[in-house]
Amino acid sequence: MFVADLTLKGSDASFVDRHFRDFCVSQVLKGNGSSSDQSKIVEIIAHRNTEELKFVRQTYSFVYNQDLLQLLSQKSNLFTRVLYLQLSEPHNRDAEIIRRTFSGRSLDLSILTEIICTRSSSDLRIVKEAYHSRYNADLRQDISYKMSGILKEILVAVLNSSNYSTARVDVSLSMCDAKTLYEAVGSGKYVDQNSIISILSQRSTCQIKSILSSYKQLYGHEFIKFLKKDRCGEFGKQLRVVIRCIQSPEKQFAKQLRAALKTGNAQETLIRIVVTRAGTDIRQINATFTAKTGWSLESLIRNEFNNSSCYNTDGAYSLVGDVLIALLRRA
């Protein structure tokens, strides 16, 4: 069956080409790859779409009788980590990133918030399904068990919004919800957390963006700006991050990169953000990051991975930089 599929998908010449690509992967993983092999790997990883990368995995399994992702997961260097993330199905990748935040010594709330709140409602629904399929667990229940406090309530509400994954926007409803938001935080009395949580849990991300736009149209300022006020407390602080992720994800990603530079964790953060956002909004992230720091993402990648001080004996760091830069330039 698979041989027939190969025949249908291309000529014998293209099959030989695919076989050569997989040979390059195999040699690099074994540490025997030449510089030309490594360049070929960079070309494949950075210039193939999701379906093409899926076919590379299938071909590798057919030729070598091994699961390429499983093989990559057994390696410990950053280059194989980049390969693994890029070759993974996006929704499975998101599910695994979330799962990894649960398995650490401490729960990484910034990554958890990033994945849940920067994805569309339709994407989030598929991530939940992938999480259940891979781990035989319910993502909503795991968050409720692992977390406590107001952020848990907000994230569970956003997860519930995936049940409303239509891309259709109801402008009249947005106007009504915008007024509800104003009454919840802008009336000068108290913060009505329940009304805000209700909106987050029953509206798709597209609808929430429309609500926020309607709020500005009605009241002349961004809803998120009002949350800076001290009287909104911890609820306002956490809600501000979530709203920024939904409304302007590029600002949240740029902020995470700046924070990672201060803590010395820029490499892992760069890998995750560039790989997961290369086909989405990496250009906007780059522009926002540059406006705030004066550095382009490419210059940051070169500084983190391609200078002589971080080049290790097997060249893995340099290859990571090459893949990330290629993904940036492809966007």
Annotation: binding site: 31, 33, 264, 304
Amino acid in the structure at residue 199: I
* Residues across the chain: 331
| Tally of CB atoms within 10 A around 246 | 23
How far is Cα 124 from Cα 52, in angstroms, rounded to an integer? 23
**Residue whose pair of structure tokens reads 């086909």 in the numeric block:** 279
Which residue, 12, 92, 15, 24, is CA-closest to 59? 15
Q: At what angle do helices 78-87 and 35-46 cross, to 10 degrees?
A: 40
User: Greatest CA separation found in the chain?
Assistant: 73
User: Cα–Cα distances in Å, from 203 out to 79, 200, 236?
Assistant: 39, 6, 19
Please state the residue numbers annotated as binding site for Ca(2+).
31, 33, 264, 304
Which residue, 183, 180, 227, 220, is CA-closest to 203? 180
**Residue whose pair of structure tokens reads 């010594």 in the numeric block:** 105
104, two tokens: 């650490």
End-to-end CA distance of the chain: 35
243, 212 contact by CB (below 8 A): yes
Q: Cα dihedral sign for 121, 212, 275, 77?
A: negative
Burial 83-110 (b: 16+ CB within 10 A, else e): bbbbbbbbbbbbbbbbeebbeeeeeebe
